[in-house]
Chain A
Amino acid sequence: MSNGQVSDRIVLDNVSRFYGEVLGVNRVTLSVPPGITSLVGPNGSGKTTLMNLITGLVRPTRGSIQVLGISPSDPEKLFRVCAYATQFDSFPRGMTGFQFIYSYLRLSGMSHDDCQRTTAFAIGRVNLGDAAHRKIAGYSKGMRQRIKLAQAIAHDPRVLVLDEPLNGLDPLVRAETIALFREFAAEGRHVIVSSHILHEVDTISDQVILLSNGYVVAEGQIRGVREEMSEHPMQVIIRCTRASVLASRVFEQDHVVEVRLHADGGGLLVKTRDADRFYRALNHLALDGVGIESVAPADDNVNSLYEYLIGGEESTR
């Protein structure tokens, strides 16, 4: 039925999910090819919801999802090819790392011996061999992250979904983990990771999906996303005296795309492609005779999200 092209993709068709009144994700349409894909967005933007939808832990309110041609409501098929390490930092009581992976792996129908071997191999791959037979309750945060990762990779899935997998890892382990993602991706598998910090994942990702308030706001290779961002100019609202004078000066700047005077004449809206240069220029432009009362970014656009995401301390205030 489905051709080869479609069946190695994760396809979401107009997927929405509401929690009662609350929006989880809205009208998401994606076709994700193999490779490392990062879901990036601030807290509450819908990353976890999207991952839960892909793995059938929650059901879409509208729309349909196919993971390599398999519906997420068919766990019997889906979890032969897919694995999901959730953001929950909780484990079954009283189990050691080894027992934990082994017990659930057995459910996939592997024999006892295969299962033991596979479990040991997976634990070795995340360098937890020494702690394998200790209770998970005594693991550190980073170890718990790694045992979750080991569980996810144990049955050699073609689709690996990992919610904030780098959280709590020290730089060395982080590098090892990223190397593992690359290995998986190099074999033509899907590795889907989430993060709320773009620069944490942009260099390792083959594609990035930017989420904000439940919407996919940008999607594609990181370079493409960057360009898309710069095409969406940054908006700044300025309240000042002699607004028309300032407007004409501002408009002479080559990075300014558009200037609009407020109807009351007491301010203006500026769209610029380079916010940093604009702020620097503003100090000179406003020198004589223009009294600036306030300068504020108009918040609700993609660019400010992007600024936030690549964020860090040096972003404009």
Chain B
Amino acid sequence: MISQWLSQIGLVIRLEMRKTFFSRRGLWVYLLALAPVLIFLGHSLSEISNRKERQAMNAAHPVSTETLRSIQRGATLEEVVEKVGQPFAKMEFHRPRASFDIYQYTDGESVYVFGFQNDRLENIDRRDRDTIPKDSLIFASVFQFFYLRLAIFFGCVGVFTNLFRGEMLDKSLHFYLLTPIRREILTVGKFLAGLIATVTIFCTSTFLQLAALSLHFTGSEISEYLAGPGWGHVASYLGVTAAACLGYGSIFLAAGLLFKNPIIPAATVLVWEGMNMFLPAALKKVSVIFYLQSLSPVVAPPDATLPAFQRLLLTSAEPVSGAWAVLGLITLTVVVLAVAARKARKLEINYSTD
């Protein structure tokens, strides 16, 4: 009996797969998933070109890091030029009572901006190129704010609500219901098909995002990072991506069975998940985002370099431990799937009125 169910689940997955993976209607899911890859790719490419530019400037106006660092406030313009030579860029403003000069130097890595007032150095601004810790915070906020809450969320709305609803609109659901398969098995099969599709799409995207973001770091920077927390972070991000598909997938599979219009449950869940941080502890646990945040590897930024709202997002959950988060998410999924299977058992074919 069990083996028959398993083989039926496998067959449903195969049948569904072509519909979920290769449908033109599902194209936007890919676009949604790939959007952050493009963002990070753009970021890396601009970092790379900035760096090339700095190195070219440094070649034209050679100066060492130590020399640049040795410059102190209060030095005169002449002293500075004597020490580090001519800048690669210079701006002058002259007023009746004061003159301002801005000199830019680079050691090929960072850009140093020296601000002079009346030929005296008043201000030193160093612009370092992005470091891995900084970029991993950028990644963490894009991941939590855009990727989990919007991209995966709406991707799952699209894929999972359509598992049943799409076939009702096509008027082809009855073909399943007229085969010797339990409705519960059908529900599980469809869910797994959606899960395989979304996990493949979104985990691939997560991986590509990390790869795109790491493009502008040097090989040694990357291997140092990977030897440290790196692989752990990669694995966690992939795990959280899959967990998000699991949690949101089950919810939207059920929503597709319970509601005629998926917009309404999607909006409700979006609001509920959005206000999760303001909910009391007991209610927090009835959400997907709570567990996902508990599982996310990069949490609150150490200092105030990020805007306040981002910090709020990154620190919103008092995280539970990883094992509890996984357990909580799986419990949530199983409960929601049980509701969906119950609804599937009672499902009637009424295409005309749906």
What chain B residues lie within 8 Å of A86 (beta carbons)? 174, 178, 349
Cβ 8 A contact of B179, one of A52, A93, A107:
A107
Closest to A52 in B: B349
B177 adjacent to chain A (CB < 8 Å): yes
Give every chain A residue within 8 A of B353 (Cβ-Cβ).
19
Known: A86-B174, A90-B170, A107-B8. A58 touches B348 (CB 8 A): yes
Nearest A residue (CB) for B23: A93
Q: Judge if A4 is at the interface, Cβ distance under 8 Å.
A: no
Q: How far, in whole Å, are A52 and B347 apart by their CA atoms in the complex?
A: 12
Cβ of A192 < 8 Å from any Cβ of B? no
Q: How far is the CB of A160 from chain B (nearest CB, A)?
A: 12
CA distance A122 to B314 in the complex (A): 60
Complex Cα gap A188–B186 (Å): 32
Residue in A closest to B22 when the chains form the complex, CB atoms: A94
Q: Could you tell me if B174 and A79 are in contact, using CB atoms closer than 8 angstroms?
A: no
A109 contacts the other chain (Cβ, under 8 Å)? yes
Task: Name, among B4, B23, B174, B175, the residue most crowded by chain A CB atoms within 10 Å (CB to CB).
Answer: B175
Whether A58 contacts B349 by the Cβ 8 Å rule is: yes
User: What A residues does B183 contact at CB under 8 A?
Assistant: 75
Q: How distant is the Cα of A83 from the Cα of B345 in the complex, in angstroms?
A: 19
A78 close to B (CB within 8 Å): yes
Please provide the chain A residues from 47 to 78 with a CB less than 8 Å away from any CB of chain B in the complex: 52, 55-59, 73, 75-78
In the complex, the answer to whether B348 meets A57 with C-beta atoms within 8 Å is yes
B272 to chain A, nearest CB (A): 31
A91 interface residue (CB < 8 Å to B)? yes
Contacts of A59 in B (CB 8 A): 346, 348
Contact assessment for A88 and B176 in the assembled complex, using a CB-CB cutoff below 8 Å: no
Q: A260 to B181: give the CA distance in the assembly, Å.
A: 60
When the two chains form the complex, which single residue of B172, B176, B180 contacts A80, counting CB atoms closer than 8 Å? B180
B170, A109: Cβ atoms under 8 Å? no
A84 contacts B349, C-beta separation under 8 Å: no
By a CB distance below 8 angstroms, the chain A residues around B126 are none
Binds A, one of B11-19, B31-39, B71-79, B288-296: B11-19
Q: Is A31 an interface residue (CB 8 A)?
A: no
Alpha-carbon distance between A192 and B172 when the two chains are bound, in angstroms: 22
What B residues does A151 contact at CB under 8 A? 175
Q: How far apart are the CA atoms of A108 and B4 in the complex, in Å?
A: 9
Chain B stretch 1-45: residues in CB contact (< 8 A) with chain A:
4, 7-8, 11-12, 15, 18-19, 23
Are A57 and B182 within 8 A (Cβ)?
no
Q: Judging by beta carbons under 8 Å apart, are A76 and B181 in contact?
A: yes
Say whether B260 faces chain A, with CB atoms less than 8 Å apart.
Answer: no
Interface residues, chain A, with chain B CB atoms under 8 Å away: 19, 52, 55-59, 73, 75-80, 83-84, 86, 88, 90-94, 103-104, 106-109, 151
B15: chain A residues at CB < 8 Å are 103
* Chain B CB within 10 Å, residue with most, of A56, A77, A92, A108: A92
Contact across chains for B177 and A56 when beta carbons are under 8 A apart: yes
Q: Measured between alpha carbons, how far is A94 from B25 in the docked complex, in Å? A: 13
Cβ-based interface call for B171 (8 A): yes
Q: Are B8 and A109 closer than 8 Å at their CB atoms?
A: yes
| Cβ-defined contact, B174 with A75, below 8 A | no
- B231 in the interface (beta carbon within 8 A): no
Q: Which 8 A-B pairs have the closest CB atoms?
A: A90-B171, A79-B180, A57-B349, A107-B179, A58-B348, A92-B172, A88-B171, A80-B180
B182 to chain A: which residues have CB within 8 Å? 75-76
Is B350 in the interface zone, CB < 8 Å from A? yes
A55 to chain B, nearest CB (A): 7
Q: Distance (Å) between the CB of B283 and the closest chain A CB?
A: 35
B257: min CB distance to chain A, Å = 16
- The answer on a CB contact under 8 Å between A107 and B174 is no
Which of B11, B177, B346 makes the CB contact (< 8 A) with A75?
Answer: B177
Known contacts being A86-B174, A93-B19, is A107 close to B180, with CB within 8 Å? yes
- Tell me how far the C-beta of A79 lies from the nearest C-beta in chain B, rounded to whole angstroms: 4
Given contacts A58-B350, A109-B8, contact A88 B180 (CB under 8 A): no
B225 at the interface (CB under 8 A from A): no
B351 contacts the other chain (Cβ, under 8 Å)? yes
- Starting from the known contacts A76-B181, A83-B178, A104-B176, 11 additional A-B residue pairs (CB-CB under 8 Å) come to A19-B350, A19-B353, A57-B349, A58-B348, A79-B179, A86-B174, A88-B171, A92-B175, A103-B11, A107-B12, A109-B4
The docked-state distance in angstroms from the alpha carbon of A58 to that of B12 is: 22
Contact status A107-B171, CB under 8 Å: no
Which of A79, A90, A94 lies at the interface centre, i.e. has the most chain B CB atoms within 10 A of its CB?
Answer: A90
B178 touches A84 (CB 8 A): yes
In angstroms, how far is the closest chain B Cβ from the Cβ of A199?
Answer: 29
- List residues of B (193-240) whose CB comes within 8 Å of A's CBs: none
Residues of B within 8 A of A57 (CB): 174, 177-178, 348-349
B311 to A: closest C-beta gap in Å: 47
Q: A58-B349, A91-B172 are in contact. Are A109 and B178 (CB under 8 A)?
A: no
Can you spell out 20 A-B residue pairs with CB atoms less than 8 angstroms apart? A52-B349, A57-B177, A59-B346, A59-B348, A73-B345, A76-B180, A77-B180, A79-B181, A80-B180, A88-B351, A90-B171, A90-B172, A91-B172, A92-B167, A92-B170, A92-B175, A93-B23, A93-B172, A103-B11, A104-B176
